[in-house]
Amino acid sequence: MRIATWNVNSIRTRVARVTDWLQRADVDVLAMQEIKCRQNQFPFAAFEDAGYEVTMHGLNQWNGVAFASRIPADDVETEFAGMPGFGADGAREARALGATFDGIRLWSLYVPNGREIDNPHYTYKLEWLDALAENAAGWLRDDPDASIALMGDWNIVPFDSDVWDIAEFEGKTHVTPPEREAFARFAQIGYADVVRPLVPTGYTYWDYQQLRFPRNEGMRIDFVLGSPAFASQVSDASIDRDERKGAQPSDHVPVVVELGESDRPMVF
């Protein structure tokens, strides 16, 4: 099985790019983030024409998560237990979507950005990650052999080498010790970054401003964290940097993982 994660930054704007890439990359399941639409706005027909069914969770023009798959999605969940909300009403946002594909449990996750360190969104981000970690630990306690992947835009830079210049981030979110500790907690409870051993360097995001992409001033913030059973199946991985090129790209690129041996080349 070939799976991928991609913050598409508005699926209605980039539907042609995404469906074209899905077919070229021969992906079985794609986890998407920032689809930025409601159910009645999603371009389902384009995915169906490409041979994919869509499972999505979107509430408004912000956030939103989805799966595009050749495999039926089972046991769909649109939040995890204790997932916090944000704002005066504490409403839960469309940031998590879980589904099972041929026995493999995948979560498409769009971790809150945090905005600024003194912003309530930063506290929300840490609380959101804490609740996710509590659930993720519980899933493995209940079934140590479960094949689970937590995939998506984590909005965290785990290491200084994951940004072009760490000095640029002094006093900013994404690199603070509490955020990095929250990310590291997933490894402590048994979830490994399954891409880094195979792709030790490379960014997954470049801001649209200040010629960040031509200068390769990027960040590595999109990850696939797998349970032991999931990690043991990973045979290959890649970051498709070329998808940041061309007309109207997302500011993120796909991160791809191959499970099991395959005779399908990773050609994008």
Q: Residue 268's pLDDT is what?
A: 55
pLDDT of residue 87: 83
What value does the mean pLDDT take over residues 70-95? 94
**Per-residue pLDDT averaged across 78-92, rounded?**
92
Assess whether pLDDT exceeds 80 at residue 262. no
Encode pLDDT of 127-167 as tens digits: 999 999 999 999 999 999 999 999 999 999 999 999 999 99
pLDDT tens digit string along 23-50?
A: 999 999 999 999 999 999 999 999 999 9
Structure tokens, 21:
């890439």
Report, as an integer, the average pLDDT of 190-194. Answer: 98
φ and ψ at residue 53, rounded to 5 degrees: -100, 150
Q: What is the pLDDT of residue 264?
A: 61
pLDDT for the residue numbered 267: 57
Percent of the chain scored above 90 by pLDDT? 94
Question: Which position has the higher pLDDT, 268 or 186?
Answer: 186
Average pLDDT over residues 209-222: 97
Q: What is the pLDDT of residues 4-21, one digit of tens each?
A: 999 999 999 999 999 999
Q: Which domains does the chain have, with CATH numbers?
A: 2-259 (3.60.10.10)
pLDDT at 185 over 70: yes
What pLDDT is stored for residue 144 in this prediction? 98
Mean pLDDT confidence for 172-177: 98
Q: For residues 198-222, give the mean pLDDT.
A: 97
Encode the chain in three state secondary structure.
Answer: CEEEEEECCCHHHHHHHHHHHHHHHCCCEEEEECCCCCHHHCCHHHHHHCCCEEEEECCCCCCCEEEEECCCCEEEECCCCCCCCECCCCECCCCEEEEEECCEEEEEEECCCCCCCCCHHHHHHHHHHHHHHHHHHHHHHHCCCCCEEEEEECCCCCCHHHECCHHHHCCCCCCCHHHHHHHHHHHHCCCEECCCCCCCCCCCECCCCCCCCCCCCCECCEEEEECHHHHCCEEEEEECHHHHCCCCCCCECCEEEEECCCCCCCCC
**Cα 203 from Cα 42, distance rounded (Å):** 28
